[in-house]
A and B are shown apart, each in its own frame.
Chain A
Amino acid sequence: MTRGAAGAAVLVLVLVPPLLTSNPFLLHLAITVLLWTLLGAAWNLLGGFAGQVSFGHSTFFGVGAYTTMILYLKGGLAPWYGMALGGIVAVLVSLPIGLICFRLRGPYFSLSTLAVAEIVRLVALNWEGLTNGPVGLLITTLPRVAWGGRILDWESKVPFYYMIATFALASMLATYRLSRARLGAYLLAIREDEDAAESVGIDTVRAKVLTLALSAFFTGLGGGFYGLYFRYVDPDAVFPIALSVEMVFIAVVGGLATVIGPVIGAVFLTTIGEMFRERFLVGHLIFYGLFMMLVIRYLPEGIWGGARRAWAKRP
């Protein structure tokens, strides 16, 4: 039962940190890693398995974030329900996007997602009645919640840690299940050759739209969490292209179409990003970019993909 053991190990690794430290910076770092894990895993479902490179996933992130914030601030709906609804609204938004953009293939698909993301960002910026425009939305107080007889302390990072840990694990579990399912096999076929996939009876549009919906759900969930954790969203924070690109990087650096890849990608990019920021106040992004290029050049399958290959080749 190595699979069960691996699952248990992951669970312990994820559950224990808050018991070891109450240092808010370390917890914040862990939360950041887990949020990026969730987002990388969500992107990986579509980009890694189906090979459909989206540069527009910030759309689903932003939609999730705004859904959560708006429902809480204007509708009084507790943000934890809002997060789930954020995921669902992201799914609804993904359906027309999928049906339109999946008419295009390869780089044209990627460019169309970029265009959609930019349109959505501009809508959020200008639809002031709904989004407050560039001013953004701010949560000042969160509702009181009792958990196991204790009032949750929203100033502490621990509840957020467990929340995002649950989401990240769920996204990894979904990745694992997909990789075992017929849909996962279909997606690999689509990644390899879309015409050939159609020719063997695979409804490629349906498979891609379903996967985009799943990917959008987790991305929207991440957006909702972001809103709740930072208590503030504006269009530049949740709809930027940089966010979409970061999701791509995490999945690629970690290892496409793998379960563990996004965690590795998130750990590397978060820590290395922080390290460079600390060392080089000016131009730290240059080194970050250089690191990206090295990984893509020498580990095209990502860190986890490369490690797995090396392990398989061991004498």
Chain B
Amino acid sequence: MPLLTVTDLTKDFGGLRAVSRLSFDAEPGEILGLIGPNGAGKTTVFNLVTGFLRPSAGRILLEGRSVVGLRPHAITRRGIARTFQVVKPFPRLSVRENVTLAAFSHEAARRRAETLAAQILERVGLQDKLGSLAADLTLGEQKRLEIARALATDPGLLLLDEPMGGLNPREVNAACALVEQIRADGVSVILVEHVMKAIMRISNRIVVIHHGEKIADGPPERVVNDPGVIAAYLGTRVV
């Protein structure tokens, strides 16, 4: 059974159809790339799956159970965690506290939650920043902090919204390694990303959306050579 099943997902903002009858699955243990030109509806899909937006129509099943209509915190507790395209750390709280708050979702005792947070921060390479304020981190560090925070909720599925946007090439490499490590630890990942080199390298499968509709779904090398995908990104030749 797929981990996540999205069927005929539709979202209208007034007269604008941001997502249109979109269907895709995410299998356990895979990294699924979700790509498309700017404004294609990728972030909207994330907001729908995590409960920040309510679908106009369609179904979203996590391990066969619907999550439509649940508030975001309840969906997190069901096992879907996310990061944000524009980072949203808790700026005036310490790095450790940022992650401890997330660990509280399944670990009520503060001391154990803090230990857990420290372990996860080590996994993302922020073990030297425990006491810093989140606001004082670099963008790359803040993105890793968000991943740590999402992991601390103990998810089965992690939705990463442009975790590599704005990072330098070395940071991108580190981020790729981190995402692969997360999958190796048994967490499935859906990745929205514009850094094509990264997404080609680490995705098992790629779903391409354009104007809210799915235009391709398959292994990376097949998807990038798909004429429809090339047309969506570059336009069709006129002369």
Binding site for B on A (CB under 8 A): 182, 185-186, 188-189, 192-193, 195-205
Chain B positions within 8 Å of A, measured between CB atoms, are 50, 52, 71-74, 76-77, 81-82, 84, 88-93, 97, 100-102, 104-106, 108, 110, 149-150, 152-153
Contact yes or no, B110 A196, CB < 8 A: no
Name 17 A/B residue pairs within 8 A (Cβ), A-sorted.
Answer: A185-B100, A186-B104, A188-B97, A192-B90, A193-B90, A195-B52, A195-B72, A196-B149, A198-B52, A198-B73, A198-B76, A199-B81, A199-B82, A200-B104, A201-B153, A203-B74, A205-B71
B92:A192 contact, CB within 8 angstroms? yes
* Cα separation A223 to B58 with both chains bound (whole Å): 51
A189: which B residues are within 8 A, CB to CB? 90, 93, 101
Chain B neighbourhood of A192, CB < 8 A? 89-93
| Cα–Cα distance between A204 and B76 once the two chains are bound (Å) | 13
Partner of A200, one of B71, B108, B152: B152
A-B contact number at CB 8 A: 78
Nearest neighbor of B82 in chain A, beta-carbon distance: A199
By secondary structure, the A interface counts as helix
In whole angstroms, how far apart are the Cα atoms of A199 and B88 in the complex?
10
A189 to B110, CA, bound (A): 15
CA distance A25 to B104 in the complex (A): 50
Contact B72 A199 (CB under 8 A): yes
Kindly state the separation between the CA atoms of A200 and B146 in the bound complex, as whole angstroms. 10
Min C-beta distance of A256 to chain B, whole Å:
11
Cα distance A186–B97 in the bound complex, in angstroms: 11
The chain B residue with its CB closest to the CB of A200 is B102
Chain B residues with Cβ under 8 A from A197's Cβ? 73, 90, 101
CB distance from A213 to the nearest CB of B (A): 19
The answer for the CA separation of A50 and B74 in the assembled complex, in Å, is: 20
A203 to B70, CA, bound (A): 11
Q: Report A129 CB to chain B, min CB distance, Å.
A: 41
Q: Bound state CA distance, A5 and B74, in angstroms?
A: 43
